Amino acid sequence: MFSNELEEVNAMAKNRAKEILRILRNNFTLPSWARSSRKLFQTLIRTVLSQTTIDKNTHRAFRNLSTRFPITPKALAKADVREIQKAIRVAGLYKNKSKVIKNLSRIILEDFDGSLDFIYSMSFEEAREILLHIPGVGPKTADVVLLFCTDKPTIPIDTHVNRISKRLGLVPPNVSYETTRQTLQSLYTPKDYLPVHILLISLGRKYCRARNPLCKPCPLNELCPAKQMKN
């Protein structure tokens, strides 16, 4: 009896998650770059730069950095950390990020002969473990690289995805990054992981903001248990 009830609850949760994705697809468009191929190391650097800053500043910092140096492990490992700082200052936390960039570049150069391309042929678990052992690479950074560069099955949990998945009741409140990721992944099929990630971010930027969310015009208003939040 209990097993049947649990299966029914799981089925209802998946159906609700499916409806949420359907509505998101009808209200937002996946950007053209979403399915384009990306270079692994460049994506790793972009993701480090993106921490606690907005996309515009990330793009400016990456452009400045690529103007000063080739975006390769060899070039960045040998670069003067002060020059990296000057290039990425606009991204914020530039002193810490410059150290992370130089150090991870050195590790990739010395320990992996300057390339991480071998992870393309690895399983998700193996590839993720290697990335997470590089100082400065956390779960979100690893998952972004694996999803966007290698099409491996994961949903990166950034601040928007974390906030919205919990407001929508897809994920329990106050759970860890890993629990959030695994719970979301259990609700969707791997082919939907990338659109789920991007479309939840789109919703977060336009409607489901951290402060003063726009609940009334939100397309998910009728499915959201948090819709009573003040606008």
Kindly report, residue by residue over 71-117, the tens digit of the pLDDT.
999 999 999 999 999 999 999 999 999 999 999 999 999 999 999 99
Q: What does pTM read for this prediction?
A: 0.90
Locate 67 and state its tokens.
């103007």
Can you tell me whether residue 174 is helix, strand or coil?
A: coil
Alpha-carbon distance of 179 to 84, in angstroms, equals 35
Tell me the H-state helices in 133-191. 139-150, 159-167, 177-187
Q: What is the pLDDT of residue 36?
A: 63
Helix (H, G, I), strand (E, B) or coil at 170: coil
Q: How confident is the model at residue 216 (pLDDT cuts 50, 70, 90)?
A: very high
- Determine the Cα angle at 159 with ends 57 and 161, to 5°: 120
Could you give the domains of the chain?
36-150 (1.10.340.30), 155-223 (1.10.1670.10)
Token output for 91:
């991204």
Confidence of residue 205 (pLDDT cuts 50, 70, 90): very high
User: Tokens 């609940």 correspond to what residue?
Assistant: 215
Asked whether residue 19 carries a pLDDT value surpassing 90, the answer given is: yes
In whole angstroms, what is the distance from residue 156 CA to residue 134 CA?
18
SS3 217: coil
Q: How far apart are CA 104 and CA 172, in angstroms?
A: 34
Q: Helices 177-187 and 139-150 sit at what angle, rounded to 10 degrees? A: 30
Task: Provide the token pair at 99.
Answer: 């150290």
What average pLDDT score do residues 172-192 get?
Answer: 95
Q: What pLDDT is attached to residue 10?
A: 75
What does the pLDDT read at residue 30?
87
| CA dist 179 → 168, 170, 210 (Å) | 16, 11, 21
CA distances from 104 to 14, 67, 76, 87, 132 (A): 39, 20, 9, 17, 11
Q: What confidence score (pLDDT) does residue 8 get?
A: 57
Work out the average pLDDT over 145-165. Answer: 95
Burial of residue 11 (number of CB atoms within 10 Å: 0-12, 13-18, 19+): exposed
Give the C-alpha separation, 29 to 10, whole Å.
28
